[in-house]
Amino acid sequence: MKVFNGKTAVVTGAASGMGRAVTLKLLSFGAHVVATDVNAEGLKALAAGHTGTGKLTTQQLDVTNRTAFTALIQDIAAKGSLDYLFNNAGIAITGELKDNVESDWQRTIDINQMGVLYGTLAAYEVMRAQGNGHIVNTASIAGLMPAPMLALYAMTKHAVVGLSLSLREEAKVYGVRVSAVCPGIVETNIVGVDQMQKLKLGNDSPFDFIRSKTPVRPIPPEQAAEAILAGVAKNLPEIIFPLHGKLAVSTFHNARRIWELAVAPGLKVMRGQ
């Protein structure tokens, strides 16, 4: 996509999953990508696998460190322009809310909510001064509807959607664009086997379980990256994908009883009933 050629983009959570896929896709379009993650080894592997025409810079970053996040954004702006920020880093802790402990709450809020806010605030200041730029915050369809057994995750993703769509309207007068990315099920490592065992779903990967027990087909990160960047290029307010994600959101909002009936059997399985 020509819109990304020669542009500078920061991507958080870039060492794996959707962040890695978005980074590689941006590089293939000729962008300069500053790829960040807490996982230094993952960033090294990303750099080793980079074959795109764009320029890749890697920087270890903990998004919960507001000082470090702000300093990174300001340093990039001092060297040129900041065209895109992809606030992608996130975690998911499963289980019933009654079983989640305080450290679960705090870690989820710190990364999924405050980390996005820190990046947004820093980038918004720079982009207002420039008179242009695009902030892309990764939420989830869990930010548009309930996600039982993922209540903490859903709470923070609702916050990301609320922040993004509210700021989108405020930011227009300054020439700044804001989008919320709302994926359905993407094959990343955000939910591991340990989380499956916590939900009493066995030792399979969550994606093997989904394929065997439901008609839903998770999509690879590469397909997610294509959908994200296509939505960003169109300046969509909410970038919802794939089809199963769109259908889930639509069913919840337009046929609530059907959605509840569909969810109930899965909850019994996750409770070991």
Active site residues: 153
Cα separation of 181 and 159, whole Å?
A: 13
Facing residues of 9 across strands? Answer: 33, 84
Which helix (DSSP H) or strand (DSSP E) does residue 136 occupy? strand 133-138
Nearest-angstrom CA–CA distance, 54 and 166 = 32
Cβ–Cβ under 8 Å, residues 100 and 24: no
DSSP H helical segments within 172-242, as ranges? Answer: 193-198, 206-213, 221-233
**Gap between the Cα atoms of 159 and 166, Å rounded:** 11
For Cα atoms 63, 66, 71, give the angle at the middle one, nearest 5 degrees: 100
What amino acid is encoded at 209 in this protein?
Answer: F
What residue type is assigned to position 21 of the chain? A
